[in-house]
Amino acid sequence: MDQSRTPYFDVLLDYVDSGVIPFHTPGHMQGKGMDRSLRDFLGDNVLAIDLTQIRGLDDLLQPTEAIAEAQALAADAYGADHSFFLINGSTSGNQIMMMAALNPGEKMALPRNSHKSAMGGLIMSGVQPVWMQPEVDDALHMDHTVTPDTVRQTLGAQPDIKAVYIVTPTYYGVAADIEAIADVVHERGLPLLVDEAWGPHFRFHPALPIDAIGAGADLVVNSTHKMLGSMSQTAMLHVKGKRVKLDRLKGVVKLFLSTSPNLVLIASLDVARKQMALEGPALLSRTIELAQSTRRQLNAIPGVYCFGEELKGQPGVFDLDPTKITITVKNLGYTGYEAEEILRRRYNVQCELADLFNSLALFTIGTTPEAAERLVHGVSQLAREDRPIDVFSPSGVLERRLKSGTYALPKIPPIRMLPRDAFLAKTESVRFKSSAGRICAEVITPYPPGIPVVSPGEEITREIVDYLDLELRAGVRMQGPYDAQLRTIRVVSK
C-alpha cells in the first residue's frame, strides 16, 4: 500500500479548504465560540479540524471511507489483518480484547503485573483471572515479564483456560519471549492477547524487540501516543488470524467509542503511522543511539545504575527496549520518588515515572540531544549532593529493607470471588489496618507503575496490609481506593 498517504488527515484539510459553513458540533464552531484565552493559545488550525463525523468525514464506529482506508494502511504497516483506531488509549484496548475473546465466567491467564486497565477488563467482561507470577527482580525491585515456562505450567494446571493475555514490554522496556509464548498458547488452540502499550515502535526497527503481531499474537494493543508522534489517548488495536471472531471484536470496539470521537486525534494516528512507515527506521536509529550514549554517560556517574544488555537472559528478560532508561538511584541513598522530584525542582527535568528505587526516562523520536544532556547534568548533580532529606518511614523499616535489598513484594492473595461480582457487590468501609481476612471490593494500585497489589474479589492478607502501609509511609501514591489516604478500605459485606 502507499504508506505516504494520510487519507484521514487529508479529508479534514479538504473540509477546511472548502470553506463549509458549519451548523454542527462541536459547539465552538471551529474555534469561533471558544473563549479567547484557550483559542489564542491553541491557534485556529487545530480548532478548524476539530469537527464531527459528518458526510465525507467517515464514522469511527462503522468506517467505510477515509477512516477505513487509514486503518487499512495501519494494518499494512503493522502486519495485521485489521487495525482499529482507539481514542481512549490502550486502557480501552485491554478491555476490548478481553470482552471480544472471552465469555463471562471463562478463565483467562494473565500476569500479576498487568496494567490496572486489565482489571477494568476483568470487571467489565466477567472473566475469571488465573494470575501468572511474572519474574521478580529483587535487586531492582521490579517485576519483569512472564516466561514461556510459566505460561505452559499455568495452562497445564488449568486446562479450562480459554485465552492467555500477556504484557510485553513492561513499563521499563523489558520484553518477553513472545514467540515462544505464542507457540505454547497456539499449541492448545487458544488466542494470545498482548498488551504491547509500550511497543508501538518495535515493528519499525530491527534493534528493537520483535513486535507482538510479528511474533504471532492474535490481538495486540499499542499506545501509539506513548512512544510515537500521535496525540494523547490515541492507540491501536491490531488483529491477526481467526482465533478471535472479527464480528464480535467489531461489536465490542463500538461499545467503547464515543459517537463524537475527537477527529484531531484520529488524524494524528493517521500521520504517526505514515511517519513510522516512511521514516521510522531512520528516526528510531537516532533515538536508539542517543539513548545508548546517554545510558553510558549515566552509568559513568558513581552510584548510578541504568540497566542494559547485561540483564538479557535473566528470568523474564528476553529482550530490552533501549529507548527506556531506568535510572536506579538506591545506591545514592535516594528513593526513585525523591530523585524524580529533585530532578524536576532543581533541574527542570521531568521523568516518566518513579518507583521506590528508580526513575524512568523515556527516549522517543522527539527527544533531543540537548534534552539528554540536561538529564545527564541533573543526575550527575544529584549524585554529588548529600542526601538532604530523610523521607523514609519514621520507623526506619523501609530504609533498612532498602539497604539490605530484601524489599519483598507481597504474594498474590487468594481469589474468593470473581472481580466483577466483588466490584458490584454490596460493600462496606472498614479500617484498612484491620481489614486482613476480608474480601476486597476495590483495586489498590501503588502508582506508578500501576500494578494492583490487591483487587476486587481477593482476600486482603496481613502481608498486603503491611506492604501497603510501608508504601504509604514512603509517600507512594495510591490509585483506586475510595479513601485516597487508605485509612479505610471497601470490602464485600458479610
Ligand X SMILES: Cc1ncc(COP(=O)(O)O)c(C=O)c1O
Please give the residue ranges that form the binding site for ligand X (CB under 6 A): 89-91, 94, 115, 117, 167, 171, 195, 197-198, 223, 235, 450
Residue 438: CB minimum distance to ligand X, A: 29
- Minimum Å gap between C-beta 111 and ligand X is 10
| Cα-based distances in Å from 12 to 55, 216, 319, 371 | 11, 35, 40, 34
**Residue 330: DSSP 8-state:** G
Residue 97 vs 441, nearer CB to ligand X: 97
424 is written with which cell numbers? 458490584
Min separation Cβ 333 and ligand X, Å: 28
CB of 165 to ligand X, least distance (A): 11
CB atoms within 10 A of CB 104: 12
Q: Smallest distance, Å, CB 113 to ligand X?
A: 8
Q: Identify which of residues 378 and 449 has a Cβ nearer to ligand X in the complex.
A: 449
CB closer to ligand X out of 53 and 94: 94
Q: How far is the CB of 478 from ligand X (least distance, A)?
A: 16
Give whichever of 30 and 168 is closer to ligand X, judged by the CB atom.
168
Q: Choose among 112, 184, 72: nearest CA to 458.
A: 112
Q: What count of other Cβ atoms lies within 10 Å of the Cβ of residue 315?
A: 15
Q: How far is the CB of 167 from ligand X (least distance, A)?
A: 5
- Find the shortest distance in angstroms from Cβ 47 to ligand X: 24
CB nearer to ligand X: give 402 or 453.
453
User: For ligand X, which is the closer residue by CB, 7 or 448?
Assistant: 448
Cis preceding-peptide flag for 369 (omega within 30 of 0): no
Strands (E), 266-356: 305-306, 319-320, 324-328, 353-354
Nearer to ligand X, 91 or 150 (CB): 91
CA-CA distance, 130 to 125, in Å (whole number)? 14
- Whole-number minimum distance, CB 137 to ligand X, in Å? 17
Cell numbers 477512516 label which residue? Answer: 67
Minimum CB–partner distance for residue 86 and ligand X (Å):
8
Nearer to ligand X, 239 or 342 (CB): 239
Cell numbers at 59, concatenated: 464514522
> Which cell goes with 397?
523499616
The dihedral region occupied by 167, where left means phi > 0, alpha psi between -120 and 50, and beta the remainder, is: beta
Closest of 307, 379, 299 to residue 339, by C-alpha: 379
The distance of closest approach from Cβ of residue 142 to ligand X in the complex, given in angstroms and rounded to an integer, is 13
Q: What are phi and psi of 427, to 5 degrees?
A: -130, 170
Nearer to ligand X, 116 or 490 (CB): 116
**For ligand X, the closer CB: 196 or 471:** 196
Q: What angle do CA 396, 402, 406 make, to 5 degrees?
A: 115
Residue 165: closest CA among 149, 183, 179, 146: 146
Residue showing the smallest CB distance to ligand X in the complex: 89
Shortest approach of ligand X to residue 469 CB, angstroms?
Answer: 25
CA-CA distances (angstroms) from residue 74 to 84, 236, 239, 435? 8, 9, 11, 48
Please enumerate in sequence order all residues whose Cβ is within 8 A of that of 481, keeping only pairs 6 or more positions apart, or say none.
442, 444, 489, 490
d(CA 4, CA 236): 19
Q: Which residue, 146 or 470, has its beta carbon nearer to ligand X?
A: 146
CB of 341 to ligand X, least distance (A): 20
- Cα 255 → chain centroid: 21
Taking the least distance from each CB to ligand X, the nearer of 91 and 335 is 91
Whole-angstrom distance, CA of residue 458 vs CA of residue 322: 36
Q: What DSSP assignment string belongs to 146-205?
A: --HHHHHHHHHH-TTEEEEEEE-S-TT-EE--HHHHHHHHHHTT--EEEE-TT-TTGGG-
Comparison of 193 and 402: residue with beta carbon closer to ligand X? 193
Q: Are 270 and 302 in contact (CB under 8 A)?
A: no
